[in-house]
Structure 1
Amino acid sequence: MAEIQPFRAWRYSSELSTEIENLTSPLFDVVSEKQRKKLYNTLYNSVHLSVPSENDQAYSAAKRLSEWKDNKVIEQDPVPGIYVYYQHFSLPGSQKKYCRKGFICNIKAYDWDENVILRHENTIPKAVNDRIDLLKATELNVSPTHGLYTDSTFALEKYMDESMKSPLYETEDYQGVRDVLSVIHDKEVIKRFMHVLKEKPVILADGHHRYEGSLQYRKDKMKENPQHTGDEGYNFHMMFLTNTESDDLRILPTHRVISGLPNFDEAVILSKLEEDFTIKPVEEAHTIHEVILGKPWAFGLIFKDNAYKVRLKPEALDKNPWDFPDEVKKLDLTIMHYFIIDKVLGIEGKDQRSSENINFERSIGDCLTQVITGKAQMAIITNEISMDDVKKVCYSGKTMPQKSTYFYPKVICGFLFSSIKNEEFRPIPDPCF
């Protein structure tokens, strides 16, 4: 189902590659203001292409990219390859070591209704438009999105393990994750990768805004090109693909932080919640995630002076009027967005994607700090979502609310870039592949 191709990556020159750790950066949507300011001080850091400091970001990125190419700051690999990418990590509070194995390739930017690339959450329009502008100006995929395929036979892992014996890069990133990159050039092995993915749909795990930007760009270019064949560079998108059957695929929860609501009153909110939830006070707010851990339809609510565990009454589930299949309706996140954010806080579902009253945080400590200091009015703490739930939602054809999942760790930006400019793209001839 999914057409993938090897590609000739643009990478930092051999001289600069010796300091690759100083050239990588977090993805555009997770890099903090503090991180950006520090990274901007490094002349050739990849953040200058993904989130330029200038007001006209698209123009600045394109100008800088042209200069980097001319000055051989980055150079294009001479032959196409599949780039193997391993991330070694552990999780807070655990001694277990994980290794998320995957590979980076070009994949065709399929429209959603083709059911080849399956999405599981909604996007925020402004973020998509920003990515389209950047793509139009640079014709470069600056960082890979993250896709998931399912292969219970693990047919490709042996080739990836073999490739990892000769890494191109090995660094420790801002997450404390050890990132390792290698490349496969063997034609027969690459054909094996292409064959395995040809039989499978791909779930988009992370990078919905960047993928949707590529998809819209492809549609625009198709309209402009009466000689469109489907092989042009603009048809493709750079993606990191991992196997859903691996035990090293981790999804962390993303909590909601509420601010700026008029007439905000904790007592009124608790009174409204009583209709559909059981409510129990929590003495220590910093322990609230442990209190709700593993309990379906349970959430932690943090206010300035108090914290509570709330859990939906089973008989309340049918009160949700949203037109979703059970796979979506019974999700913790759907319950939170309807019964708490819509019904109690008054932010209607249709307005939630663009609401300035809802922010997203992965750290409970940061949630607590924002509420205690008055930066936020309250925080809603939620459990993580399972890979099985992600699959069910994708196969149902529906989506979750935005920022529903946080696949950990995030891929990093800067190891390689993928050009969709035709003279640099050079699709692989069929006789070889």
Structure 2
Amino acid sequence: MAEILPLKAWRYHPRYTDSLEKLTSPLFDVVSPTQLDLLYSNPINSIHFTLPHKDHTVQKTSSLLKNWKDQGVIIQDQLPGIYVYYQYFRLPGSSKEHCRKGFVIHIRAYDWDERQILRHEDTIAHSVKERVNLLNATEIQSSPTHGLYEDTSFLLEAYMDESIKKPIYDLKDYQGVREVLSVITDTSIIARFISFMKDKKIILADGHHRLQAAIYYKHQCAKVNKNHNGNEGYNYHMMYLTNSRSNNLKILPTHRLVKKLGISRETVLDKSKKYFDIEIIYDTDEIDPMNLQQKWSFILIFRDKAYLISLKENKINEYNSAFPEVVKNLDLSVLHYFFVDKVLGIPFRKQRFDENLLYEKNLLRCQHKVAGQEVDLAIITREILMEEVMAVCHSGHTLPQKSTYFYPKALSGLLFGSINSEEFNYPYSKYFNP
């Protein structure tokens, strides 16, 4: 079962409500260096807990949090609630407005082998360690991970739609997304959410390193707590849950950049001919991931030329690995196996850690980086489909690195989820026995 609990969130004091746009922050893995400098300059921006400055020790971050609490920068809601979170957005090149509907709660930090939360991405050890250290210092989470549950009946939406009519926040964020937050504190409705979710498995869309850190932290705390019973705050994690069946769940493509090729463009193309059909693109102004209609096709952008490459017929049979078909058939699996490994010479098993491989969701930035000689090559990809993500998760395997970019990203700093025992403890049993 996916055990969830309502959240006794810390939030910015009401006096800051009108300036939340200046206090919230992007997730740490998408914030740009320019944004970071601006955010760090604000002493009460949530970035100080989402991604503390490199010069700040964890002790300094811990002291900062205490000061915020003592000075009333953030205050804790007295009643646990389910925080309804709607994001209104438009996709590039479209005037249609979408609304992604979801809610923020505490969820048990299940071990991966319990198969209650399914991941699609592996984690990197040093990144996880940084998040564990931050949890140790603060016992608080400033940004929820993003999980998906499946509900064809959309049963919970009626409660969420009713709640969102009385928002506690309504703002526009750094992405141009309208962020609306409300809270449900009615015990009978909360009990229905908990009961509904108890037989659901969760697919983790975003926040693999943060959840891995929560798992490590849980075990670390349990090991030293002689009275551990599994209900302590450190067993839980703040998560934003959305319905995978929604038409407003969008995944954008994440393109690949190569800083230094080490070989000429002609050599790249010559080696590619063994695996791919190649067509020159004469009008580079018309390059668009939406034009990649054919499976296993990609666009290569060099400084003065661009090419469309498509895997040759039957070459997929040469994909020699132990991966199941649902993984091998993915566009990005084909790209990383046949092109990045076989053509560029970066071994498949080392690619996740290779500093020569970069990732970028914005097509224009890819083109500018090639033109500006920041990188030698941009590889434009299609977006992965939701059904492909779910199939891989249920297979027990993971996707190639940086396969998904769920859009829009959840905003950091709207809510702070505490797992400190004094701030977490509450007679939650009333929600399980309404």
Task: Give the Cα–Cα distance (whole angstroms) in 2 for the partners of residues 428 and 380 of structure 1.
Answer: 53
> Which segment drifts farther, 397-406 or 127-136?
127-136
Q: Is the 8 A contact 2:132 2:214 kept in 1?
A: yes
The aligned runs of 1:163-178 (5 Å cut-off) are 163-178=163-178
Percent identity reads: 50
The equivalent of 2:349 in structure 1 is 350
Question: SS state of the match for residue 264, structure 1?
Answer: coil
Matched, 1:420 2:410: no
Q: How far apart are the structure 1 equivalents of 2:355 and 2:275?
A: 26
Residues 1:223 and 2:214 are matched in the alignment: no
Which residue does 2:388 correspond to in 1?
Answer: 389
> What is the aligned partner in structure 2 of residue 119 from structure 1?
119
Range 39-48 or range 78-87, more displaced: 39-48
Q: Secondary structure at the match of 2:299?
A: strand
Stretches of structure 1 that go unaligned for 5 or more consecutive residues are none
Paired with 1:39 and 1:383, the residues of 2 have a C-alpha distance of 32
Aligned AA for 1:394? C
- Alignment-derived partner of residue 278 in structure 1: 277
Does residue 51 in structure 1 map to residue 51 in structure 2? Answer: yes
- Report how far residue 17 of structure 1 moved: 2.1
- Taking the TM superposition and a 5 Å limit, the aligned residue runs for 1:280-429 are 280-290=279-289, 292-429=291-428
Q: Which amino acid aligns with 1:375?
A: E
Aligned partners of 1:286 and 1:111: how far apart in 2?
47
Per-residue deviation, 1:432: 4.1
Residue 109 (structure 1) aligns with: 109
Deviation at 1:234, TM superposition (A): 0.7
Confirm or deny: 8 A CA contact 1:146 1:241 kept in the other structure.
yes
For the residues of structure 2 that align with 1:59 and 1:295, how far apart are their CA atoms?
A: 52
Q: Secondary structure at the match of 1:165?
A: coil
Q: Deviations 1:39-73 (Å, cap 9, x if unpaired)?
A: 12222111122122242352332121011011111
Is residue 194–residue 431 contact of structure 2 (8 Å, CA) maintained in 1?
A: no
In the alignment, what sits opposite 1:128? 128
What one-letter code is carried by the residue in structure 1 that aligns with 2:324?
Answer: P
Distance 1:353 1:385 in 2: 18
Residue by residue over 1:141-174, the C-alpha shift from the partner in whole angstroms, topping out at 9 and shown as x without a partner, is 1100100000001110000000011100000001
Give the alignment's Cα RMSD to 1 decimal: 1.3
Equivalent position SS for 2:194: helix
* TM-score, scaled relative to structure 2: 0.97
Please tell me whether the aligned partners of residues 50 and 61 of structure 1 are also in contact (alpha carbons under 8 angstroms). no
Of residues 92-101 and 420-429 in structure 1, the stretch that sits farther from structure 2 once superposed is 420-429
| 8 Å CA contact 2:327, 2:333 repeated in 1 | yes
* TM-aligned CA deviation for residue 371 of structure 1: 1.1
Count, aligned residues: 432
Tell me if structure 2 keeps the 8 A contact 1:85–1:179.
yes
Alignment CA distance shift 1:255-1:295 (3 Å): same
The Cα shift of 1:273 comes to 0.8
CA distance in 2, matches of 1:104, 1:432: 16
Structure 1 CA distance, aligned partners of 2:253 and 2:54?
Answer: 33
Partners of 1:289 and 1:342 lie apart in 2 by 25
Correspondence 1:35-74 to 2 at 5 A: 35-74=35-74
Runs of 4+ displaced beyond 4 Å: none
Cα distance in structure 1, aligned partners of 2:159 and 2:290: 43
SS of the residue 1:87 aligns to: strand
The 1:286/1:140 distance shift into structure 2, 3 A limit, reads farther
Q: Distance in 2 between matches of 1:222 and 1:377?
A: 49
Q: What is the distance in 2 between the residues matched to 1:431 and 1:51? A: 36
| Structure 2 CA distance for aligned equivalents of residues 333 and 427 of structure 1 | 45
One-letter amino acid of the counterpart of residue 425, structure 1 = F
DSSP 3-state at the match of 1:199: coil
Whole-angstrom distance in 2 between the partners of 1:228 and 1:55: 35
Question: Secondary structure in 2 aligned to 1:88?
Answer: strand
Q: 2:188, 2:431 within 8 Å by CA — same for their partners in 1?
A: no
Alignment partner, residue 210 of structure 1: 210
Shift in CA distance, 271/54, structure 1 to aligned 2, threshold 3 Å: closer
Structure 2 stretches lacking a partner, 5+ long: none
Work out the CA distance in 2 between the residues paired with 1:111 and 1:432: 24
1:117-196 equivalences in 2 (<5 Å): 117-196=117-196
Q: Is the contact made by 2:289 and 2:380 (CA closer than 8 Å) also made in structure 1?
A: no
**In structure 1, distance between residues paired with 2:59 and 2:378:** 38
TM-superposed deviation, 1:364: 1.1
Q: Distance in 1 between matches of 2:87 and 2:156?
A: 17
How far off its partner does 1:323 sit? Answer: 1.2
Contact 1:11–1:416 (Cα < 8 Å) also in 2: yes
* 1:347 Cα deviation after fit: 1.1
Q: Do residues 236 (structure 1) and 236 (structure 2) align?
A: yes
- For residues 357 and 57 of structure 1, the distance between their equivalents in structure 2, rounded to whole angstroms, comes to 29
Corresponding position of 2:5: 5
